[in-house]
Amino acid sequence: MTRMGYQEEHEAFRRTVRSFLDREHEPNLAHYEKIGGLDRDFWRKAGAAGLLGLAHTGGGDFTYYAIAAEELGRSAGSATTGSSLMADVATYILIGHGTDAQKEKYLPGILTGEWTQAMPLTEPGVGSDATAITATARREGDAYVINGEKYFISNGAGANLLYVVAKTDPSRGAKGMSVIIVEADTPGVSQAKIPMIGWRQGDTGAVNFADVRVPVSNLVGQEGGAMKILMATFLEDRIQIAARCLGAASRALELTLDYVKQRKVFGQRVIDFQNTQFVLADCRADIRITETMVDTAMMRLREKQFTFEDGAILKLWATQMEGRVLDRCVQLFGGAGLMDENPIARMWTAARIQRIYAGTDELQKVAIARGML
């Protein structure tokens, strides 16, 4: 069924993403677990399939990213490998704010998967309040010298193209923050993977910058212009997270339906109990509501009517919805739902990340309340 606000080219792209993940992602989870995450070959294949650099190839239509996010969430294996492909949302920063020279240098490699991207923003003592970062980029002639530590960075351990958010003028607070491109092999850059209870083979990393020297020409946008860049990125990020939650909840319901139709208790199928039917009905209702919210958000984004408050409401609802649905599904699986080899167990664990990742529930509530005040 064609979804509200989607054209045939969008649905064709959905089929492409689904085919790629079914072919290159799901069957190779054992391999990714063995090597500790996605490998460079995966990224090259994603590039060949046309799944990277969609800000460029998709003509700026964020709908393509939302589709990729939903289908990634619908892949049970994403509970193991994490957000992966969605780190490519950073391309919007390059397209929207990068110089012609920066685009010429990096876009070809982004499209082929040779360059994989991350945006080091969060720090060990700084989470939701981006303006409190302490990383600095000190101007020395025609170079910036970057120092600081970044933590909980999506794609942070493996990315080789980093959009670093640092303070070029600490005295100006939020107005003194800038985005600077740093290639990960630059002297002074070190990266390490952070073990997580969810997304166990996902790439959540720590990145350290010790007197990292890069040309001033690596500045993205204007000096002091990071918050303007980030605010636009946050809006899009809220939608892709919600889409991923939607995909995960939909897949969990499919897995649970298959299970309760086969599992018998006291001589009858689990699905034949009225309680089971009511629980499944609640899941279906939650998913349909979220589907409408995501699709409406996409249409409002295209019309430039999607607000920061809208994004906060969407992320708050979708992440909590995924948690509710996965919890109900595990309950219907019973003991089998707690076995590590069962995809539903990993999906349940991974769902917990979403209410903290990329802005906690509490931060979303603050944003919503400010809109009312």
The stretch 29-42 carries a mean pLDDT of 91
Provide the Cα torsion 238, 113, 118, 287; round to 10°.
Answer: 20
DSSP state of 4: T
> Could you tell me which residue, 131 or 350, shows the higher pLDDT?
350
Domains and CATH numbers, the chain: 8-112 (1.10.540.10), 117-223 (2.40.110.10), 227-372 (1.20.140.10)
Contacts made by residues 280-288, CB under 8 angstroms, sequence distance 24+: 280/253, 280/256, 280/332, 282/324, 282/328, 283/249, 283/252, 283/253, 283/256, 283/325, 283/328, 283/329, 284/253, 286/249, 286/321, 286/324, 286/325, 287/246, 287/249, 287/250, 287/253, 287/321, 287/325
Give residue-wise pLDDT tens across range 322-370: 999 999 999 999 999 999 999 999 999 999 999 998 889 999 999 999 9
Q: Are 346 and 338 in contact (CB under 8 A)?
A: no
Q: Residue 241 has what pLDDT?
A: 96
For residue 343, the tally of other CB atoms under 10 A from its CB is 20
Report d(CA 222, CA 338) in Å as an integer: 50
Residue for token digits 């409406």?
Answer: 296
**DSSP code string of 238-250:** HHHHHHHHHHHHH
Residues 6+ apart with CB under 8 A from 19: none
The model's pTM is 0.94
Question: Sorting pLDDT into bands at 50, 70 and 90, what band is 128?
Answer: low
Residue for token digits 């499209």?
Answer: 111
Query: Is 262 exposed, middle or buried (CB count within 10 Å of its CB: 0-12, 13-18, 19+)?
Result: exposed
Token pair for 288: 């349909």
Identity at 275, one-letter amino acid code: N
Q: Are 145 and 213 in contact (CB under 8 A)?
A: yes
Residues 6+ apart with CB under 8 A from 60: 95
Q: Residue 127 has what pLDDT?
A: 67
Report d(CA 237, CA 87) in Å as an integer: 10
Q: Residue 1 has what pLDDT?
A: 59
Strands 161-167, 117-118: pairing is parallel
Q: Residue 364 has what pLDDT?
A: 94
CA angle centred on 91, ends 87 and 97, rounded to 5°: 135
The stretch 308-316 carries a mean pLDDT of 96
253 pLDDT exceeds 80?
Answer: yes
Question: Sorting pLDDT into bands at 50, 70 and 90, what band is 59?
Answer: confident
CA angle centred on 211, ends 221 and 92, rounded to 5°: 25
Strands 204-215, 189-193: pairing is antiparallel
Task: Give kind and range of the element (H or E) at residue 213.
Answer: strand 204-215
Q: Are 182 and 222 in contact (CB under 8 A)?
A: no
Report d(CA 332, CA 280) in Å as an integer: 9
Q: Residue 57 has what pLDDT?
A: 86
* Backbone φ and ψ of 110, nearest 5°: -65, -45
The stretch 76-84 carries a mean pLDDT of 92
